[in-house]
Amino acid sequence: MGYGHLKLRRPTVAVETEDGMIQIPVRGLDLGDITFLATEHRATLQALFAAFLGQAGGAGSMGDLIDKAATDAPALVATAIALAIDEPDDIGWVMALPFGVQAAFLEKIGSLTMAGDTAPKKVVEIVMGIAGVTSLGISTGGSGDGGSK
C-alpha cells in the first residue's frame, strides 16, 4: 500500500499580514534542499564554515553557526526558509519578514531537519562536504553563490 497517501503533520509559524495573522506550515530540509543550498550558496557556506571552525578552540555550537548565517548570509537564510515552506520562488518575500519571524522559522526548520537519530554534527559534516569545505575550513573546490531552484 505504501505511505504516499499519508500527510505528514507540519508545525506552523505565525506571520502577521495586512489581512491578519496567518499560520504558515514549515518542514525540515531534505537532502535535495541541502544539496541545492550547498551548491547555490557554496562561497557563502565556505565563509561561514571557515569562521565557525576558526573560533577559539575549534568549532562553535550549532546555534553559533545559525546566528552567523542569519547575520552574514540573509540570502542563504531566506532561501532555506523558502524551501522549507515549499515556496522556493518567494525568497524576496521571506527576506522582507521581520528578523523575529525568520528566527522562528529557522528554529522550527532546524529541529525538523535534525529529527531522528542524525546528530547535528553529522548534518554539518554532510553540508560541509557538499559545499567543498574541509575540517580546516579550506575550500576543496567549486564555486557559485546564487541562483534559484
Per-residue pLDDT of 108-143, as tens digits, reads 998 888 877 766 667 777 777 777 765 544 343 444
Alpha helices in 1-149 (DSSP H): 31-40, 42-53, 62-72, 74-84, 91-95, 99-113, 120-131
- State the pLDDT at residue 134: 59
Of 137, 141, 139, give the one whose Cα is nearest residue 54: 137
pLDDT in tens, 72-104: 789 999 999 999 999 999 999 999 999 889 989
pLDDT of the residue at 127: 73
